[in-house]
Amino acid sequence: MTQEICGLSSMATRPVLADLSEHLRRTCGIPVRFESAGGVEVARRVREGAEADLLVLAAGALAELEEEGLVLRGTVRPLWVSQVVAAVPDGAPVPALDSESDLRAALLAATAVAYSTGPSGTALIGLITRLGLTGALSERLVQAPAGVPAGSLLSSGRADLAFQQRSELTDLPGVVVVGPLPGDTAIDSVFSGGVLASSGRPGRAREVLDLLASDTASGIARARGMRPIG
């Protein structure tokens, strides 16, 4: 029986990796399982010696782990681009997001703005700074705990506007995705994959990584709100 390939990933890629793992089991006979958590938490686990075969994280975080020798050099490859989108609670008025002025208005009208840990949250805080809204919004920003979708703060009533990767907000109960940020305010995150140095099956792990980047996988990724690289 083929040994299971185990992977670690950030929450943003959990939906697409779940679908792709099922696809690989069904069509290729390859058992693959990914465990997902907040990107910061996953990186911490890897640094503390977590054993797995594959790692899928934001490109910058994965590059750091490769530099530290925890990911095999030459195995890292970009997989998908994910957009950060805005969302509101189901039943709430949907703000326009056609221009930077619309985005400013939506931010200033919100009672509480939810954002995530990881690269999308960092990028959003940078955008708010660039827009000159740090002072106006400092008391209204609510960061979701690591591994918790920012959209869950909408459904629980703790926020009335949220920003996160599309894949983490799509199909979340009680949440309506408004759309990507307009023009120059758009935030894209690149997610890459690599073979962990702790893998006992690096060759097999490379094969699975190739399949994750295949044309068939690209269609599955698009269905989950991610744009394949290239």
Tens digit of pLDDT for each residue in 206-225? 999 999 999 888 898 888 88
Q: How confident is the model at residue 229 (pLDDT cuts 50, 70, 90)?
A: confident
Q: Show Cβ contacts of residue 13 under 8 Å, excluding neighbours closer than 6 positions.
A: 36, 56, 80, 82, 167, 191, 226
pTM, rounded to two decimals: 0.84
b/e map 195-215, b = 16+ CB within 10 Å = bbbbbebbebbbebbebbbee
Work out the average pLDDT over 35-59.
93
Residue 35 burial class via C-beta count within 10 angstroms: exposed 0-12, middle 13-18, buried 19 and up:
middle
Which pLDDT value is given to residue 1?
A: 44
pLDDT tens digits, 129-144: 999 999 999 999 999 9
d(CA 151, CA 38): 15
Nearest to 24 by CA among 33, 15, 11: 33
Read off φ and ψ for residue 79, nearest 5 degrees. Answer: -115, -55
Q: Bridge partners of 162?
A: 87, 114
Which regions of the chain carry the CATH code 3.40.190.10? 5-80+190-228, 82-185
CATH of domain 5-80+190-228: 3.40.190.10
Q: Which CATH architecture has domain 82-185?
A: 3-Layer(aba) Sandwich (3.40)
Residues 45, 71: contact at Cβ < 8 Å?
Answer: no
Using the predicted structure, report yes or no on whether residue 197 has a pLDDT greater than 70: yes
Q: Bridge partners of 114?
A: 142, 162
d(CA 82, CA 161): 19
Using the predicted structure, report yes or no on whether residue 2 has a pLDDT greater than 70: no
Which pLDDT value is given to residue 168?
A: 84
d(CA 134, CA 130): 9
d(CA 133, CA 112): 14
